[in-house]
Amino acid sequence: MKRWFMAWCLLLLGLLTGCSKDEEILAFTQKLDSFTSEVVSRVEKAQDPKQGVDAAQQYLDSNQGELKSAYGELSGVRGYQVKEETMERLTNSVSENTGKVMGLKLKYVTESVSDKEFDKKLDKLSDSYSAIFDG
């Protein structure tokens, strides 16, 4: 009976370990951090921020589908598939990275007040970025 119980426990442990999504989530957060840095830097490093927003929007558009799909898969994981700390890291990463993109609106507030087209482009960039995380 003891051997049967031990075998059952080992099997269960193996199944639970095999279902872990921790590594996938951590890889996604690294990819998201890198992606967001690229989006923000395309605006900040451009000679003309308006053209930088266009470049950032183009980059976002070309990668949005892949990120949205990956996030959709990972956001549906259950507690037994992932450690609580890992889910917290995912939540923090999404929040911090969204804040970085939204922060462009604050950084360029003077320009966006005087240039409505630029303001609309910043809004579109922010909305497109946020759409990655919409269910």
Residue pLDDT tens, the chain, 135 long = 555 444 444 444 444 444 578 999 999 999 999 999 999 999 999 999 999 999 999 999 999 999 999 999 888 787 778 898 998 999 999 999 999 999 999 999 999 999 999 999 999 999 999 999 986
Structurally, how many domains does the chain consist of?
Answer: 1
Whether 87 maps to a domain, the answer reads yes
Q: How many residues does the chain have?
A: 135
Whether 4 maps to a domain, the answer reads no
Q: What pTM does this model have? A: 0.82
Whether 79 maps to a domain, the answer reads yes
Q: What is the largest CA-CA distance in the chain?
A: 78
Q: Extract the runs of DSSP E, i.e. beta strands, from the chain.
A: none
Enclosing domain of residue 87 = 22-131
Whether 13 maps to a domain, the answer reads no
- Rounded Cα distance between 2 and 77, Å, is 33
Whether 35 maps to a domain, the answer reads yes
